[in-house]
Amino acid sequence: MMVIPLPPVVLDVLLVINLFVSMTVLMVAMNNTEPLQFSVFPSLLLITTLYRLALNVSSTRLILSQGQAGEVISTFGSFVIGNNPVVGFIIFLILIVIQFVVITKGTERVAEVAARFTLDAMPGKQIAIDADLNAGLITEAEARQRRQAIEREADFYGAMDGASKFVKGDAIAAILIVGINIVGGFIIGMVMQGDTWQDALHKYTLLSVGDGLVSQMPALLLSTATGLMVTRAALEANLGSDVVRQVFSYPRTLFIVAGAIALLGLFTPIGILRTAPIAGLAAYAGWRVRNAAAKAQNIEMEQEIRTKKEETKKTESVFSLIQVEPVEFEFGYGLIPIVDSKQGGDFLERIVMIRRQLALELGMVIPTIRIRDNIQRKPTEYAMKIRGVEVATGEVMLGHWLAMSPGPEDPSVTGIPTTEPAFGLPALWVTGDMKLRAEAVGYTVVDPPSVIATHLTEVLKRHAHELLSRQDTKALLDHLRETAPAVVEEVVPGTLSIGQVQRVLANLLQEKISIRDLVTILETLGDYGKQTKDPDLLTEYVRQALSRQICHQFRVPGQPLLVITFAPAVEEKIQGSLVQHENNMFISLDPSTSQQVFRRLREESSRLAAAGKTPILLTHPKLRLAVRRWLVRSLPDLVVLSYNEVDPSVDIESGGVVNL
């Protein structure tokens, strides 16, 4: 093509082939999902550029030698540019500016940056592949395939960086070729063919510009394809699908654009007749997009419901039904304003504070409390469940306050009689006006959320020993291992198992003894764990080690420890009835004597409680555990201490003696 002269007919066919190839390359570039699917593009760009330059040489030879270059170039010169060489030359210059200044310049810069960043990212990608391979996430074959993909990507962008220079050089060559054709044709027409300068300028300018347009249209298409290849980023499908999905996914935007176009026609000289079709088309597109989105959402919801139904039929789905929550809080629909933060309820924040408070007081982390409404309950009723079993219920009155008298009731304070759920004290539900009166005469007045929070706190304290599982114990030991590893490693698993430690901690929590000083507890278990594995006996040793903490917990600071004791005869009788069986011990008194002791203890403890004191029974160390188990059903809140659990620095004062 560059050496042998071609007939005009053959040149026409080759020019049409050039258009066909450039359009095909552009469509392929638009329909790729990733650049490596068209990895031959840099080489193809070089071949098509050389092919187009060869066509320029052949067409130049025909223009300068015969004064014509076939029907394709003539058509572009006469039909496309209207047989006006000046207009055609201006259009040709505009195409050159678009291709050279806009597309080619931007493509060259993007290709250069992409090649640089791809090469810089190669080491990190290689390390990521090696890490996945070492972790067993991918096989050796997959790792090899991913490495090859990275190498191909680096080679591709490097080649595109160089191939973009072909497009730039082609645009420069087109300008020079057209200029040479015009000047050379003008000279040949006047000197060799005897044409007037007007005829020579018109004919050769028309043919040269037509040749330039025929060459630059495919060149412009290939430049666009080059820009698409190097700007491809984060596409999930081909260009057309992504454009439709991403640009036309916002119906509100289309409605706004339709309104703006319509207003432009109404309030400007453009006229509504010119803008109405475009505005209507945009509004129709927005309506279609909104309906399509609604249908897609309905289909997705139906599919999700269908999937859930299918999962319920599977055997594995039954396991989710047998899971038991450690702590549950159920409430009627009337208490939703207290729980729902959107309606101003702060109960969720209160639960967070309760868990923090109990962590400080008890030294254990209360499990997450599952909160759910239950329409089968009364609207203002609530309940607490431990391990799926209901352990406490209560009822509050919204719009009222709970008022509790500090002593004798004041007849001027009236309300709805009730019982405070946490401690069983008599109380009144009062309204806003009576609330101020109750506070003025010394009543304790609290709102319904505080009543529920207090009740929940006491229930969690009472059942803390049931909530402490082996897994929770392991979590506590793992946390302590960070600061005191030697203590933990000596006890677990060297001396005791996690289950034995958990039983000791549960015994302490059952009597409301904090396990926060876990170091002292484990050190005591390490000292006595080699002598006995009995959790009850180990608990007694731990209680003696925690004597200072226990005394501080149950006495008023600065005051002596007020205790109740058994009369010597009573204690001797109790000790005589002590029965030890294997690892268990219990008191075997006759029922009448037991009832007398219970009645006397209840009288003494009630007297101390009425005076604001904590009832504490002080007994012999050998009897403490047996007495505690003996009294737990009749007097669950009575604190039972042994003489060995009283810190030497604490003064003791007798608060009562139990006689028969």
Three state DSSP letters for 615-631: CEEEECHHHHHHHHHHH
CA distance 235 to 243: 10
For residue 459, what pLDDT is reported?
A: 92
| pLDDT tops 90 at residue 505 | yes
Select, from the ranges 107-121, 168-182, 257-271, the one with the highest average predicted confidence (pLDDT): 257-271
For residue 506, what pLDDT is reported?
A: 92
For residue 384, what pLDDT is reported?
A: 92
The pLDDT-based confidence of 655 (bands split at 50, 70, 90) is: confident
Burial environment of residue 458 by CB neighbours within 10 A (0 to 12, 13 to 18, 19 or more) = middle
Who's near 163: CB < 8 A, 6+ residues apart? 41, 42, 45, 46, 111, 226
User: CA 261, 263, 265, 269: dihedral to nearest 10 degrees?
Assistant: -130
Q: Mean pLDDT over residues 609-617, rounded?
A: 80
Indicate the CATH number of 468-545 among 1.10.510.10, 1.10.8.540, 1.10.540.10, 3.20.20.410. Answer: 1.10.8.540
CA distance 560 to 629: 26
Q: Mean pLDDT over residues 134-157, rounded?
A: 77
| pLDDT tops 80 at residue 544 | yes
Query: Among 210, 181, 176, 196, which residue's Cα sits nearest to residue 89?
Result: 210
For residue 557, what pLDDT is reported?
A: 76
User: Which two tokens mark 281?
Assistant: 């088309």
CA distance 647 to 156: 81
For residue 502, what pLDDT is reported?
A: 92
CA distance 520 to 488: 11
For residue 455, what pLDDT is reported?
A: 92
For residue 107, what pLDDT is reported?
A: 67
DSSP class of 63? H
Tell me what percent of the residues of the chain surpass a pLDDT of 90: 8
User: Which two tokens mark 418?
Assistant: 């009730």
Q: Mean pLDDT over residues 227-248, rounded?
A: 63
User: Which two tokens mark 466?
Assistant: 């049931």
Indicate the CATH number of 327-463 among 3.30.565.10, 3.40.30.60, 3.40.718.10, 3.30.390.10. Answer: 3.40.30.60
The DSSP line for 341-368 is GGGT--HHHHHHHHHHHHHHHHSS-PPP
| pLDDT tens per residue across span 564-578 | 888 888 888 888 888
- Between the CA of residue 516 and those of 314, 405, 528, what are the distances in Å? 45, 34, 20
For residue 324, what pLDDT is reported?
A: 82
Domain boundaries, the chain: 8-247, 251-300, 327-463, 468-545, 560-660
Question: SS3 of 431, please?
Answer: coil
For the chain, give the mean pLDDT: 81
Question: SS3 of 602, please?
Answer: helix
Q: Which CATH architecture has domain 560-660?
A: 3-Layer(aba) Sandwich (3.40)
